[in-house]
Amino acid sequence: MAFPWIFEATFDSATATPFGWDSEQDTGGLLDLPHYSDLARFRGAQLAPYRGAYCLRVVMGDTNDHTLREGDIDIADTVTRYASFYLYLGDDMAATANDTFNIFELQQAGGTVEASLGLRITALTGDVEIGIGDGTAPTDFSAQALAHNRWYHIEVEMLVSTAGVGTLQLFVDGVSMVSLTGLTNAAAVGSGDLGTQDTLATTTGTLLFDWFVFDDTRIFPQRERFPHQQTITQSVHAFVGPGVVEDFLVLSTTAGNIARLFDTDTGNVNDAQGFVAEFDIAAASELVTASGPWRFERGCFVQMTGTNPRAQVRMYPDKRPPFYSAWGVRHYGQHRKQRPNNV
């Protein structure tokens, strides 16, 4: 396993387009990174980022592509790799005609699609199924439809083979759902596209994506959505809302890596009033640890800078505050505007 991952995207730090990816295709502007307080305005018991303060959103409603592309998602011939992300289907999903469309593609460097992961909506019943395909569109689907208003962990395993022994496997919440074997790939995979492609104009609804990971071994779903202890490899929110960090540890093989903690629930880390602490790696392979507690009123944003930084943050273990649940995040977001000076 690579650590940090070969490629990771949390969609949490509110970076400018293309949000840490190589490029964006979003004709019509239906792709964005909503803040949790924006999501809290809509119905849905789990309608909050899977973790942190932001996630990727596509509000479907046209035939254009709404995707992010990354060249670090590459798979050489005879090599197996894994891609995973969290997926949320809003309760506004609808279609007036049966529609199959892609939400993730593994492509050659020149853009030819080698494998696809997508959804199929049955207009009569409203069922949404997930499936995979050897080429431009999914052909084999899970027997069980996906439910609305909940997060799923989606993982794809692909063995690239120009010799006709390639494989493609879909896992949902860690369970194998669909497998394809004996595939012949025309060339190695050179990029990955996440988002919606090939939708009908009458296909509508909200899809949320969070915590994308690409690596050389199985990734598996996380055991806890709101864990007490988190391993962090890039700038993210450890939590939103009021809470306490008990201790903080930074481990790096590169001198000059810095971790900073801010009391904020946005990606704005330039707020001087929100600055809490700084941890600086002075020498290679140095371990820097510090004990709190540090109290946060608006959320703990961890800013990581340097080459392959790594940190562990442990939240207060007793009397878990309300931000440790999707309901708590939504409740906090609904009342966020009522609190002055919240950044």
- The answer on pLDDT for 212 being more than 90 is yes
How much is the average pLDDT of 81-87?
A: 98
Highest CATH level, class, for 7-215: mainly beta
Q: With a cut of 90, say whether residue 13 has pLDDT above it.
A: no
The whole-angstrom separation of Cα 343 and Cα 341 is 6
Residue 140 is encoded by which pair of tokens? 């084999």
Angle, vertex CA 334, rays to CA 330 and CA 336, nearest 5: 110
For 328, phi then psi, to 5°, come to: -65, -40
For the segment 284-299, the average pLDDT, to the nearest whole number, is 88
**How far is residue 14 from each of residues 11, 112, 134, 182, measured CA to CA in Å?**
7, 30, 34, 41
**Average per-residue pLDDT for the chain:** 90
Structure confidence by residue, pLDDT tens digits, 160-188: 999 999 999 999 999 999 999 999 999 99
Strands 175-183, 80-89: parallel, antiparallel or unpaired by DSSP?
unpaired
Buried b (16+ CB within 10 A) or exposed e, 211-239: bbbbbeeebebeeeebeeebebebbbbbb
Residue 85: closest CA among 227, 210, 207, 217: 210
- All CATH 2.60.120.200 domain ranges of the chain, comma separated, are 7-215
| DSSP code at position 6 | S
Closest by CA to 52, choosing from 340, 307, 333, 339, is: 333
Task: Give the residue with greater pLDDT, 318 vs 120.
Answer: 120
pLDDT score recorded for residue 317: 64
Which class in CATH covers the domain with range 229-338?
mainly beta
Instruction: Pick 327 or 158 by higher pLDDT.
Output: 158
Classify 214 as helix, strand or coil. strand
pLDDT surpassing 50 at residue 1 = no
pLDDT in tens, 217-264: 999 998 888 888 898 988 999 999 888 999 999 988 788 889 999 999
Can you give the pTM of this predicted structure? 0.94
Is residue 283 predicted with pLDDT exceeding 60? yes
Q: Which of 72-76, 153-157, 333-337 has the lowest mean pLDDT?
A: 333-337
- For the cut 60, the answer to whether the pLDDT of residue 198 exceeds it is yes
Residue 341 has pLDDT above 60, yes or no: no
Percent of the chain with pLDDT over 90: 67
